[in-house]
A and B are shown apart, each in its own frame.
Chain A
C-alpha cells in the first residue's frame, strides 16, 4: 500500500539554525510533491510545490529537494525563527488533480 513517512518526533532547534524535515514515500510515483504548514487550530497553508523532474525549489528562506530515486523530499528552513514553529506536512499528487495524499506531519519548535 502507499505510504508516506515523516518524522513523528518533534524537531527542536535553536533560532538561527537550519531546520531540515524529511518526507519518505513508498509504492508511489508522484508527479508533484508539496509542503504545507499547519498551525494549531488552523487549516494547512501551502508553502512550496516541486515537480518530479525538478531537483530543488527555493522560496525566500525555504528550500525543497526531491529525489525520485531515493523516494525522498527534504524541506529546509534557513535562519529559523520562533515564528516558524508549526507542523509541516508533506503531500504527494500523482495525477495533477490536487488529490493530495498527506503525511502525518512533523512538528517543528524553534527556541529563541
Chain B
C-alpha cells in the first residue's frame, strides 16, 4: 500500500488567498484525521471523520477552515482566506477500527504551508 498520500507537499501563498490541501487515505481505513503541527503548539487535531462523516471538528481554529470528505478515498482541508499564522505543517492520517485492540493511525508526509 502506498500509505496516506497528501498534496501539495509544499505550498507558499500570499495572505488572503485560498489554500486547498488534499488527502488520500489508506484503502479500507474508516477514520480520517487532519492534524496541524507547529513549533509552538505541537501536533493538534483539527477534525476527524468516520465513514466519511465529520465526527469532531472542535479543533478547527475558526470559520476560515473547512474540511470535506466526499468519499472514502479523498478529503480536503480548505483555508479561506489564509493568514500568516496559518503557516504550519498539515498532516492527514487514517486508521482502521480494530475494536478493543486500539486504533493506530498512519500519517502522511504532510503539507508544508507558508503564508506570506
A is bound by B:
yes
Residue of A nearest to B42 (CB): A104
Give the B interface residue count (CB, 8 A): 25
- Interface members, chain B 24-49 (any A CB < 8 Å): 31, 33, 42-45, 48
Residues of A within 8 A of B95 (CB): 98
The reply to whether B107 and A49 form a contact with Cβ atoms under 8 Å apart is no
Cβ contact within 8 Å between A49 and B102: yes
Q: B83 near A: Cβ within 8 Å? A: no
* CB-based contact A46/B106 at 8 Å: yes
Judge if B50 is at the interface, Cβ distance under 8 Å.
Answer: yes
Complex interface: chain A residues within 8 A of B108 (CB): 43
Contact A34 B43 (CB under 8 A): no
Q: What is the interface of chain A, defined by CB distance below 8 A to chain B?
A: 31-32, 34, 41-46, 49, 51, 89, 93, 96-105
Interface residues of B (CB under 8 A from A): 4, 31, 33, 42-45, 48, 50, 55-56, 91, 93, 95, 100-110
